[in-house]
Structure 1
Amino acid sequence: MKTSNDAKMTVCSIAVTLSILLITLGVYWGTQYLDENYVKYDVEQMLNVCNQIPDPTERKGETITIDKRWIVKSVIANRIYPQLSTQDGVNFFSDYARKQDWTICTNRWDLDNRTGKCTYYLTLKKKEITCYIEHEEGSEIWRFWIQKEDIFRKMGL
């Protein structure tokens, strides 16, 4: 029994289509795995700054958010000593960063005209990683920002 060329071509095109689909899905799932596992694990290592800071706070929780460009770790804390100013917390972060060989690139306050509150920004650099810390005065949340590209570069990807 002979098979026509049309049938062979159909089988070949189905096989090629399935191969392309499987390769595409493999790349997609591989990227997802890299984002969700390696990057989160490395961020935990890079951001252990917030876990070891002697800031007089009691943690209520923390979240890690990964989007297209940024990895954001938000730490929510209750102040044990409410009379301490935000500046004291800033000093803890700055001192700790210096002791851990982070270079302080930016250390500034900005007034938000919409809310009337001051937001503190601290930019730290250590080798190829840049970490941005943000804190709004009166808030209990400190946010740590790292660009994904920095993590990938550190991992050699």
Structure 2
Amino acid sequence: MVHLDVATAANAVTVISIANLSGRLVLGILSDKMSRIRVITIGQVVSLIGMAALLFAPLNAMTFFAAIACVAFNFGGTITVFPSLVSEFFGLNNLAKNYGVIYLGFGIGSICGSLIASLFGGFYVTFCVIFALLILSLALSTTIRQPKSEIYHQAHA
């Protein structure tokens, strides 16, 4: 899609690693200061910007690096925030099972993304699907509210 040379592709891996770590730190710290679901929403907006750039902007090395940094930032950040978010909504008793289901989604997503790419001869359609799912998840995340205190206390009993 971008036709990067080997050195630029290797640099992309570095950008992904740095952005992923930055997302873990920044969104993790934010999740201690504000509603975790809103932190997820912020991450989705950042990722949506990155996916929009990958799909719609003229790509050169810098645009590509910025776009993948946005996606990796969100990925790293959500990995950090999800365990606390899941425990807030469903309690600690079933955290391992519930978080396991979330992690299963990453595996299913990677398989589906690869299948879509192989069926359509590239990742453009896969990125379109990801973009649409980001819009949907962003819309849904803005409607989710924190559990009421009595439900929260029951989940943590």
Higher helix share: 2
State the structure with more CA Rg.
1
